Amino acid sequence: MSLRLAVLSLPFLAVAAAAAPTPDEIDAAQWSSGDLEDGQTALTVKVQALLDRAGISPGVIDGWKGGMSTSAIAAFERRAGLTPDGVMDGEVWAALGGASAGAIVTRYSVTEEDAQGLVDAIPDDYGERAQMESLGYTRISERLAERFHMDEDFLLALNPGIEIAPGAEIAVIDPGAYLSGAVARIAVDKPTQRLTAFDAEGNALADYPVTIGSADTPSPSGAVEVLGVAIDPTYTYDPEKNFKQGDNDEVLTIPPGANGPVGNVWIDLSKPTYGIHGTAEPSKLFTDASHGCVRMTNWDAGELAAMVSSGVVVEFLE
């Protein structure tokens, strides 16, 4: 039975997470000494948002100190000419403009459009997915979390007791505007799981966390080129060329959508079947392995896609 597009009939309720920082705590947070604390803190939320605004993606903004945030601080330090140790300190705070930063949390009114085009569920089986019209968002909160570069659970925790439904006013993180520019070269650093985009003068325009391949399905080595960009692409599943999913042994065309195998962006590379693309699970970038491609959050992949063109060299650093 095919699953068809539908708007969820019941509003999605936000449930507060224990000890989650409040909007006021996030805006008031200031660094005083030492590295970011373990756990989820208002200061970490603020630092993640400021890194994002500076073009150094922390991946999902969630307030938790972890590998993506630490790698983002190191990438920011590297670009700023500081020792890239990934440790929060006074130099990083000053370079981020933390003391004089404006509001981090803003208000957003949920619209009817935000509730359109949702799907009932995303099945695991690719054969079932191939029968669907779209692999879009399943919840308004999922859609808005990606729009504001947030972890969905954190979005809900920031809005305890609020129905995420049209007409609601909710608190969200302001990650800043998308970057613009022309990318001349891309470096994918496998050990740090970071992708850096450089301009023609060799300056780092942007830096993003990525998932790379495993030992069984490794990412490419050496240099390849960008062949083109597809937004909202379909995905061709070919078990003889890619990998085996479930019992599916035939070529399938998987419909587009943010919850598809390649998210809503595909940057095609000159090595056949490989690309740079989005993901349905942005919070798992540093815990999962890809099937050899370079996986990014949907929003980071979209930002990068707008700055690349055919012929851009992509170097894989061991």
Residue 91: both structure tokens together: 């130099």
Q: Of 293, 301, 304, 314, which one is the catalytic site residue?
A: 293
Q: What is the dihedral of CA 106, 204, 29, 14, to 10 degrees?
A: 40
Contact by Cβ (8 Å): 106, 148 = no
The conformation of residue 311, written as its DSSP 8-state character, comes to T
CA separation for the pair 304, 170 (Å, rounded) = 28
3-state secondary structure of 42: helix
Burial of 17 (0-12, 13-18, 19+ CB in 10 A): middle
The question of whether 149 is a catalytic residue gets the answer: no
How does 150-160 read in b/e, with b if 16+ C-beta sit within 10 Å?
bbbbbbbbbbe
The conformation of residue 61, written as its DSSP 8-state character, comes to B
Q: Of 129, 143, 277, 291, which one is the catalytic site residue?
A: 277
- Per the DSSP assignment, residues forming a β-bridge with 224 are 314
Contact by Cβ (8 Å): 145, 139 = no
3-state secondary structure of 29: coil
CA dist 24 → 1, 27, 112, 289 (Å): 48, 5, 28, 37
The question of whether 293 is a catalytic residue gets the answer: yes
Contact by Cβ (8 Å): 232, 277 = no
> Which phi and psi angles does 64 have, rounded to 5°?
-95, 130
Residues tagged active-site: 277, 293
